[in-house]
Structure 1
């Protein structure tokens, strides 16, 4: 479990910068469609060679629903927003995912304590501070950055209650169906393909292998085997990694108010994801 957490923390923190580089010369939705469809196909082929059964019709339908919400709604909207917003700011907005996860968990009967509600309020305050100081984007890009974690966290919570394939086959089916849906959306919106740069192709390769095959599979394992706040606790580290890469390699700038907003957002996430105290064991009479 610790290895899965480390992969999701560090690798996904780097994907925001990778997406920024990839869409410099590649269409956003088409790039994601290729990324997830290719990763899903490779993973499914590897699993089949090891004797894993193909998903049933019911499992394919559930995988498509999760893939649409997580990959289309979550990653897809972030990628579209990054055309008008920096990778650093995009990662900072997505840091509210654990806050939304705590809210959506209530739909399936999981209680939200007072400290978690306080954390949600603190995190939203950080987002407001970010909008005042650093979110230099079009209104559409800002809207997409807020909508993306809503889609991602709802899909993550819903997936815990759907009839999905077992093990890594769930990740393969979700990426394959999500990638196919993104390619259809790319064609429907008229995205055009041009000769990509070497940097964009390297970024796409990194996103496919590490961001999808490795980190996405690790995340779905966490969703299945841990509580929601821990599964989405990658938001502790992702923004820091993304900001360091964006500022260090991408020439992005972040002012004092932006760093303050990041600290407030992460403070809210800490309040939400901090382990709850274990219930005291009943004493022997």
Structure 2
């Protein structure tokens, strides 16, 4: 199978799907920010992911039957652990953080996920290239600049919280290619979302969150519906299709675009300030991420083996998005489309 080449499908479909991922996943930070205006952050995530999991599971059952969910106990536990790391603590802490910091600042700090992935690889003696380490130092310098100054976008509590969520997301991405996972990528995501959503429900209830339906605004309900239908299903479907039909080097560009989209939407729709600190710090982070991704994807073997959180660290970005399928766990129908 060729991972880094396109087939005969029209280029317009590839760019259309990429545009969906650019805009939709960049907008999820805004969606989370609006949803938590009147819905407790962890409970909003629980509603989002459990509902999305039910819709995705229903689609899979209709299309492929119960065989799509055939998995061993170890594979189920692997998906469950990753779901908790990505969604319960990763996405959950992001939602909590957005109570204190701007959506744009949150997106820029989440963009540091590929940098943490390289740090984890170094910790297990998988020594990255010198340019990769340089990119990590540059990117983390940008993270430090935004964190220490606050970037006029929120409190230190929010910044620490979103960074903890980013590290959790990175751990989940790192482990997902190193433990047994279900063979079907969509079934994997359904398990991750239902377990991650259940974890958010338990954690949110445990810390005292309560959903007062009468207090939820129409604006927040619309944002939640957008996150479920557009962010979780349409965006995820477009991303999954791209993995089978577009070059990995092209797909990974969403890592640079999503934070810019999030900052722009936050400024336009929530009147969030775009300060010099945000611009400079954000550009430094993205420069580091760009150096890491461009350096890592030059090794084709590593891209093929570790696309979901090892070698091609670009696909680990996405604290505001959905669990991302490992390329070597792609659904058989997607695999065939990939050539």
Q: 1:135 to 1:224 in 2, by over 3 A?
A: farther
Counterpart residue number, 2:194: 176
Structure 1 unmatched runs, 5+ = 280-285
Q: Which has the higher contact order (CA 8 A, sep 6+)?
A: 1
- Provide the aligned length of Structure 1 versus Structure 2: 279
Q: Does 1:45 align with 2:58?
A: yes
Shift of 1:229: 9.1
Aligned partner of residue 270 in structure 2, secondary structure: coil
Q: 1:224 to 1:179 in 2, by over 3 A?
A: farther
Paired residue for 1:30, among 28, 37, 43? 43
Q: 1:119 to 1:111 in 2, by over 3 A?
A: same
State the alpha-carbon separation in 1 of the partners of residues 142 and 249 from structure 2.
18
Structure 2 unmatched runs, 5+ = 1-5, 7-13, 301-339
Q: Does 1:253 align with 2:262?
A: no
Assess if the C-alpha contact under 8 Å between 1:171 and 1:217 holds in 2: no
State the alpha-carbon separation in 2 of the partners of residues 256 and 21 from structure 1.
25
TM-score (norm 2): 0.74
State the alpha-carbon separation in 2 of the partners of residues 70 and 224 from structure 1.
23
Return 232-241 or 161-170, whichever deviates more: 232-241
State the alpha-carbon separation in 2 of the partners of residues 233 and 31 from structure 1.
29
State the alpha-carbon separation in 2 of the partners of residues 38 and 93 from structure 1.
27
State the alpha-carbon separation in 2 of the partners of residues 236 and 182 from structure 1.
28
Q: Does 1:152 align with 2:169?
A: yes
Paired residue for 2:160, among 123, 143, 156? 143
Q: 1:136 to 1:176 in 2, by over 3 A?
A: same
State the alpha-carbon separation in 1 of the partners of residues 124 and 187 from structure 2.
24
Shift of 1:209: 1.4
- What is the 5 A alignment of 1:174-253? 174-194=192-212, 195=214, 196-216=216-236, 234-253=254-273
Q: Does 1:9 align with 2:22?
A: yes
Aligned partner of residue 237 in structure 1, secondary structure: helix
Assess if the C-alpha contact under 8 Å between 2:153 and 2:273 holds in 1: no
Q: 1:105 to 1:226 in 2, by over 3 A?
A: farther
Assess if the C-alpha contact under 8 Å between 2:146 and 2:281 holds in 1: yes
Q: 1:11 to 1:21 in 2, by over 3 A?
A: same
Shift of 1:24: 0.5
- What is the 5 A alignment of 1:33-182? 33-50=46-63, 51-53=65-67, 54=69, 55-106=71-122, 110-131=126-147, 132=149, 134=151, 136-165=153-182, 166-182=184-200
Q: 1:108 to 1:227 in 2, by over 3 A?
A: farther
State the alpha-carbon separation in 1 of the partners of residues 94 and 281 from structure 2.
19
